[in-house]
């Protein structure tokens, strides 16, 4: 996918399948089957670690969702309209970021729309796609996949939310001015301090 | 009821007092109290009925006002541009906008104090958490390349401590270790053959499993694949030693448990060689039959011999997380499933962390 920076995070299923803007349902089916077959071949050849298992599960779920959403004209059009709406809302908020009153209203509306978009198209419909007979046939998706995927998809959705959130105007804190070279020195000094204090005081790497 | 004596008249909250409270939060890396300062019912708000002079809020004020961390935080917060902003937020209705400088200081102090969940929440709010985490990982990689394994492991442990769990429900939260749960997953399948047992996996695979288990993040542990096997083995050994203050005491108990398991093993083999496997149950004396359970008790650290293997595993994983890497499930006489010590005899790792007397043990401690 080659999203522009402003589009990053708003999953683009058309680009995921590599479809032209004027695609037809027949194109969706043909491309989906080919991509899924290639992915299955890749998975069968790869050594499956925990990390790769999650990665492949997400890839299968993404392809299934792309196919499930775009093959149905009505569902596909709604998805494209919702995606455009949330991206436009982000843009609108950005243009009014200096107006505190309007900005706060727009931010709340955008946040609500964004959460609804992500949970619908990156979680609910992804799981629903996994139960579709055609997706099950191509991807061999079953109940065990769904159980494992629900956590992976929640992680994916929240990660994308964070990716979008990180590029938005600051509203909950004053905009930080971080000197990253200085930060590296702080990290070095922190390690020096922890080494001197005795590593055991770090309480096992995860603490507090 | 007359409660006059308990009632303290609320004085106007001065910027100096706000600075003191905030400096205390920053110095102690307390993100929860930092956010509380700005809450609608905060005692630092003049329009709140809560009173900062009430004894219940004594914890918001510093006990030691000469602490260098506190003094440096106080100096930073007392700068007019920060304090004026804080006072404006305390007078404002609606969600506050936190000042970034004290928040960053708070996160740094929390990291130094090992309060990683506090630090990660503050860095996350500043939207710099992943980059800070990446810096620690880079410093860790740099230390490994220079052969400074302890420093590298420390950097990786800090990075893991700053991790976030985006799959947490309903909202993302700092990732916290849950070895009681992950150890059960690790031993979820009963090992039908020796090779299926976690500690008896080929060493490179075992080291990878151990690093993923201890780091609690497959992606971070995966970065270590860039180093050769010997280095990764040393990293795992150092991680085990440095993350557990009581590891030497556990190692001593483990060696004792291993002796018991081996004594049981020897006796069972003798009986099988002499009379066949069917005779084991009849021929085994009560004392020898109790050895595996005694070994399990030693591993769990609990003085209860009626625990199931999974209860022992959870106890072990909670108190000595890495201990779960060197045990296996086994069925012993009486058809009872227990947890027993086990490691690869051809691996130097057990000797490096004090579980084995020497590295050239021929037989793995497996029943």
Residue A6 has pLDDT above 70, yes or no: no
Would you say B156 and B133 are in contact if contact means Cβ atoms under 8 Å apart? no
Domain, as residue range, for B163: 134-190+203-243
Domain identity same for B86 and B100: yes
Task: Calculate how close chain A gets to B84, using CA atoms only, in Å.
Answer: 13
Cβ–Cβ below 8 Å for A151 and B110: no
Residue A194 phi, psi (nearest 5): -65, -35
Based on the structure, what is the number of domains in chain B?
3
Beta bridge partners of B331: B337
Instruction: Please tell me whether residues B275 and B219 are part of one structural domain.
Output: no
Q: Do A174 and B98 touch (CB under 8 A)?
A: yes
Q: Are the Cβ atoms of A207 and B161 closer than 8 angstroms? A: yes
B254/B329 same-domain check: yes
Residue B305 lies in a domain: yes
- In a shared domain, residues B8 and B20: yes
The CA distance from A129 to A124, in Å, is 9
Interface test with B, best of A147, A166, A171, A205 (most B CBs within 10 A): A205
Considering only CB atoms, A158 lies closest to which of B150, B167, B219, namely B167
Structure tokens given for B82: 């920060």
Percent of chain A scoring above 70 in pLDDT:
91
Mean pLDDT of A166-190: 93
Do the domain assignments include residue B306?
Answer: yes
| pLDDT number for residue B7 | 60
Burial of B184 by CB count in 10 Å (0-12 exposed, 13-18 middle, 19+ buried)?
middle
Closest by Cα among B158, B131, B147 to B217? B158
Q: Which residues of A, range 47-76, sit inside 8 Å of B by Cβ?
A: 49-51, 54
**Option in A162, A166, A183 nearest B166 (CB):** A162
Whole-number pLDDT of residue B169: 78
pLDDT at A1: 45
**Domain chopping of chain A, boundaries:** 5-84+118-176, 178-208
Q: How far apart are CA A19 and CA A9, in angstroms?
A: 19
Taking CB atoms and an 8 Å limit, are A176 and B216 in contact across chains?
A: no
- Residue-level pLDDT at A49: 72
Min Cα distance A186 → chain B (Å) is 8
Asked if B116 and A207 come within 8 Å (Cβ–Cβ), the reply is yes
Burial zone of B330 (CB within 10 Å; 0-12 exposed, 13-18 middle, 19+ buried): buried
Query: Would residue B197 count as lying in a domain?
Result: no
**Whether residues B327 and B288 fall in one domain:** yes
Does residue B358 lie in a domain region?
no
Tokens of B313: 């595993």
Q: Which pLDDT band holds residue A7 (cuts at 50, 70, 90)?
A: low
Residue A39, CA distances (Å) to A30, A59, B216 in order: 14, 8, 28
Give the span between the Cα atoms of B3 and B50, in whole angstroms: 16
Helix axes B129-145, B116-125, angle to 10 degrees: 120
Kindly list the residues from chain B whose CB atom is less than 8 angstroms away from the CB atom of residue A179.
none
Q: List the pLDDT tens digit at each of the 367 positions of chain B.
A: 445 545 667 788 999 999 999 999 999 999 999 999 999 999 999 999 999 999 999 999 999 999 999 999 999 999 999 999 999 999 988 889 999 999 999 999 999 999 999 999 999 999 999 999 999 999 999 999 999 999 999 999 999 999 999 888 778 899 999 999 999 999 998 998 888 899 999 999 999 999 999 999 988 999 999 999 999 999 999 999 999 989 999 999 999 999 999 999 899 888 888 888 788 878 888 888 889 999 999 998 888 778 899 999 999 999 999 999 999 999 988 888 999 999 998 999 999 999 986 533 434 444 3
User: Which residue, chain included where needed, has tokens 């727009």?
Assistant: A106
The partner residue sitting opposite A202, judged by closest CB among B114, B139, B169, is B114
Number of neighbouring beta carbons within 10 Å of residue A92: 14
Residue A5: pLDDT band (50, 70, 90) is low
A205–B160 CB contact, under 8 Å: yes
3-state helix, strand, coil in chain A (%, to 5): 75, 0, 25
Q: What angle do CA B269, B272, B273 make, to 5 degrees?
A: 85
User: What is the torsion angle, in degrees rounded to the nearest 10, for the CA atoms of residue B27, residue B32, residue B37 and residue B41?
Assistant: -160
Interchain contact, A206 vs B244, CB within 8 Å: no
Tell whether the model's pLDDT for residue A199 goes beyond 80.
no
**Cα-based distances in Å from B103 to A34, B32, B41:** 50, 11, 21
B9 lies in the same domain as B102:
yes
CA B89 vs CA A120, B44, B57, B67, B178: distances in Å = 36, 11, 20, 27, 38
Other Cβ atoms within 10 Å of B80 Cβ, number = 8
Q: Chain B residue with minimal CA distance to A181?
A: B135
A199·B154 Cβ contact <8 A: yes
Is B12 among the domain residues?
yes
Do B149 and B83 fall into the same domain? no
What distance in Å separates the CA atoms of residue B119 and residue B124, rounded to the nearest whole number?
A: 8
Residue carrying structure tokens 């629900």:
A150
What is the rounded end-to-end Cα distance, in angstroms, of chain A? Answer: 40
Cα angle value B216/B217/B218 (rounded, 5°): 120
| Confidence at A30, pLDDT banded by 50, 70, 90 | very high
Please enumerate in sequence order all residues whose Cβ is within 8 A of that of B277, keeping only pairs 6 or more positions apart, or say none. none
Which of B90, B106, B122 is the C-terminal boundary of a domain? Answer: B106
DSSP state of B170: S
Residue B280 pLDDT: 80
Residue B261 near residue B340, CB atoms below 8 Å:
yes
The CB density around residue A104, as the number of other CB atoms within 10 Å, is: 15
**Which residue in the set B127, B161, B212 is minimally distant from A206, CB to CB?**
B161
3-state secondary structure of B340: strand
Q: Are residues B231 and B264 in the same domain?
A: no
What is the pLDDT at residue B281? 78
């Amino acid at each position: 996918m080659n999203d522009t920076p402003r589009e990053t995070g708003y999953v683009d299923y058309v680009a995921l399948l590599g479809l032209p803007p004027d695609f037809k349902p027949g194109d969706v089916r043909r491309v989906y089957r080919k991509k899924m077959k290639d992915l299955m071949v890749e998975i069968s050849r790869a050594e499956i670690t925990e990390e790769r298992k999650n990665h492949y599960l997400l890839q299968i779920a993404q392809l299934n969702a792309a196919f499930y959403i775009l093959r149905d004209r009505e569902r596909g059009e709604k998805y494209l309209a919702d995606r455009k709406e949330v991206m436009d809302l982000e843009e609108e908020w950005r243009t009014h970021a200096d107006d505190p009153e309007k900005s706060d209203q727009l931010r709340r509306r955008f946040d609500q729309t964004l959460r609804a978009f992500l949970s619908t198209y990156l979680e609910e419909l992804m799981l629903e796609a996994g139960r579709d007979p055609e997706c099950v046939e191509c991807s061999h998706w079953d109940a065990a996949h769904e159980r494992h995927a629900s956590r992976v998809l929640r992680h994916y959705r929240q990660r994308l939310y964070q990716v979008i959130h990180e590029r938005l105007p600051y509203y909950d804190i004053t905009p930080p001015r971080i000197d990253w070279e200085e930060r590296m020195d702080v990290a070095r000094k922190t390690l020096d301090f922890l080494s001197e204090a005795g590593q055991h005081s770090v309480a096992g790497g995860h603490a507090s | 009821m007359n409660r006059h004596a308990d009632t303290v008249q609320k004085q106007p909250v001065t910027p100096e007092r706000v600075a003191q409270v905030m400096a205390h939060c920053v110095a102690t890396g307390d993100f929860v109290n930092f956010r509380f300062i700005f809450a609608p019912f905060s005692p630092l708000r003049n329009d709140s009925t809560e009173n900062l002079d009430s004894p219940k809020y004594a914890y918001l004020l510093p006990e030691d006002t000469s602490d260098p961390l506190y003094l440096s935080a106080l100096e930073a917060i007392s700068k007019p541009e920060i304090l004026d902003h804080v006072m404006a937020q305390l007078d404002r209705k609606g969600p506050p906008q936190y000042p970034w400088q004290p928040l960053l200081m708070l996160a740094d102090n929390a990291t130094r104090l090992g309060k990683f969940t506090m630090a990660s929440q503050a860095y996350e709010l500043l939207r710099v958490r992943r980059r800070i985490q990446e810096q620690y990982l880079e410093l860790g990689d740099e230390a490994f390349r220079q052969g400074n394994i302890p420093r590298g492991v420390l950097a990786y442990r800090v990075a893991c401590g700053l991790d976030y769990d985006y799959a947490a429900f309903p909202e993302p939260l700092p990732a916290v270790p849950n070895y009681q749960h992950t150890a059960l997953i690790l031993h979820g399948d009963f090992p039908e053959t020796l090779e299926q047992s976690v500690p008896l996996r080929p060493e490179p695979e075992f080291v990878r499993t151990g690093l993923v288990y201890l780091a609690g993040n497959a992606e971070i542990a995966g970065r270590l694949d860039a180093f050769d096997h010997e280095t990764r083995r040393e990293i795992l050994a150092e991680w085990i030693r440095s993350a557990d203050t009581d590891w030497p005491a556990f190692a001593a108990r483990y060696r004792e448990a291993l002796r018991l398991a081996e004594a049981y093993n020897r006796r069972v083999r003798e009986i099988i060689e002499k009379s066949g496997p069917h005779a084991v149950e009849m021929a085994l004396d009560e004392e020898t039959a109790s050895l595996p359970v005694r070994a399990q008790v030693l591993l769990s650290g609990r003085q209860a011999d009626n625990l199931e293997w999974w209860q022992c595993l959870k106890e072990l994983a909670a108190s000595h997380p890495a201990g779960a890497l060197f045990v296996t499930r086994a069925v012993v006489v009486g058809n009872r499933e227990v947890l027993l010590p086990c490691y690869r005899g051809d691996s130097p790792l057990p000797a490096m962390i004090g579980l084995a007397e020497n590295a050239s043990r021929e037989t793995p401690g497996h029943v």
